[in-house]
Amino acid sequence: MGAAPKIALFAPGSRMATADQAREALQALCDAGTGRSLLELAWISQVRTQDNRALFRLALPGYATSQREQIASAARAALLALDGIDDVQIELAVPASSAGHGHGHGAPAAPGQLPERQGIPGVKRVIAVSSGKGGVGKSTVAVNLACALAASGLKVGLLDADIYGPNAPTMLGVADRTPEVSGSGDQQVLTPIDTCGIGLVSMGLLIQENQPVVWRGPMLNGIIRQFLYQVNWGERDVLVVDLPPGTGDAQLTLAQAVPMAGVVIVTTPQKVSLQDARRGLAMFLQMGVKVLGVVENMSVFIPPDRPEARYAIFGSGGGALLAAEAEVPLLAELPLEMSVMEAGDQGLPVVVARPDSAMGQAFRTLALSLCSQSLAPA
């Protein structure tokens, strides 16, 4: 029985696409935010061909991962249009700045030790706003606090670290804007959006409206570190960080990454809210982060037709009880009034749109309290 005949993979005269041709085909792919070539940004690299297959490495920074499927689909289409290419292989990778503890910020920790906290260039102090559960008005407090601090004369940045529910851009009326990006590859730097006297960075500025963010812990940690260290914050007296609710990866990442002036715990008078707030407060104390105090939101309802009336619709005294238990100050008891909702829908924080309202005055008092306690000029 004779040997089996050899089968030629390519007929005589057929052409194989070269790596240069593959790179040329990918040259038209650009970042949706900046319009720059993905090859120039080094998001696409190591382009090569093997027989009838084209291969390349795709490494997107955390804030650009929402473009992954679109980029992969466009790259496949461009490469499959080349003569001799029947298959495309994409090697997914993580930029060097997302793989460790941030881009060039601190050496890895020894086994059993926390990584060394590293300050943010130009930022004097960092305060976090946190809550044990959602729905207590944490983001409203963070946004209005940042604006109130700015109104007091401080240079303020706001980092919306609530990656899964980034509401700050809507509250500040800039949801349709995109931050400027400079540099390439893992050297990229974001420029905050200036609005209402503060500089804002948020995941909500980098994804399409209503697009969910479905990430596991490592990717969440990476994007928060990028927002801390790969943003041109400039000179800031204080950076306010709006954390997601609960006690998870975002809280741990922030507490381990940067030295903080402290954290503000937001709760409502309700018993359920207090239970969760206690857990969050205990977590920060356990990690050595100073608790600046408690803010009780929705303490009373002020009806628009009877501004002199006060209704404790969610109970009363919860914030004071939590503060007393933890031996920290009760920083503010914020009322619930229609001006908050109206201002938020207009894209203006109440402290900007209605500074003389009960809520606006309460936020200014809160800002002054924090200034005297921990944010005085260094």
Residue 350 one-letter amino acid: V
Among 4-8, 35-39, 129-133, 321-325, name the one with the lowest average pLDDT. Answer: 4-8
**Domain residue spans in the chain?**
19-93, 126-373
Q: Has residue 13 got a pLDDT over 60?
A: no
In CATH terms, the superfamily for domain 126-373 is P-loop containing nucleotide triphosphate hydrolases (3.40.50.300)
Residue 20, C-beta contacts closer than 8 angstroms, at least 6 positions apart? none
Q: pLDDT tens digits, residue range 318-350?
A: 899 999 999 999 999 999 888 777 777 788 899
Averaged confidence pLDDT in the chain:
83
Highest mean pLDDT among 49-63, 90-104, 233-247, 297-311: 233-247
Q: Has residue 129 got a pLDDT over 90?
A: yes
Residue 133, C-beta contacts closer than 8 angstroms, at least 6 positions apart? 245, 246, 272, 273, 276, 277
Please give the C-alpha separations between residue 118 and each of 37, 104, 315, in angstroms, as whole numbers: 32, 10, 41
Task: Identify the CATH number of the domain defined by range 19-93.
Answer: 3.30.300.130
Instruction: Annotate 93-110 with DSSP letters as a single string.
Output: E--HHHHSSSSS-SPPPP
Q: Check residue 33 and give its pLDDT.
A: 64
Q: pLDDT tens digits, residue range 41-99?
A: 888 999 999 888 899 998 887 667 667 888 989 999 999 999 889 889 888 776 654 44
Q: Check residue 270 and give its pLDDT.
A: 85
Q: Has residue 250 got a pLDDT over 60?
A: yes
